[in-house]
Amino acid sequence: MASIQPAPTHADLDAAEKAAMHLIAKPDAVFAAANKPADMADAQWAQTKNQIQPFVNQVLIAIDRLRNGGTHAEAQRKRVPMIQGTPPQKVEAQYSEEGRRAGRLR
Structural domain harbouring 95: 10-101
Q: Is residue 20 part of a domain?
A: yes
In-domain check, residue 2: no
CA separation for the pair 55, 101 (Å, rounded): 26
User: According to the model, what pLDDT value does residue 103 have?
Assistant: 47
The pLDDT assigned to 89 comes to 47
Q: With contact defined as beta carbons under 8 Å apart, do 79 and 57 qualify?
A: yes
Answer yes or no: is 40 within a domain.
yes
With respect to residue 50, please indicate whether it lies within any of the assigned structural domains: yes
Question: Is the full-model pTM beyond 0.85?
Answer: no
What's the rounded Cα separation, in Å, for the pair 62 and 54?
Answer: 12
> What is the domain count for the chain?
1
pLDDT along the chain (106 residues), means of 10: 77 93 92 95 93 88 85 72 51 50 46
What is the structure's pLDDT at 80? 59
Q: What confidence score (pLDDT) does residue 2 get?
A: 56
Instruction: Count Cβ atoms below 10 Å from residue 41 Cβ, excluding itself.
Output: 10
Q: Is residue 3 part of a domain?
A: no
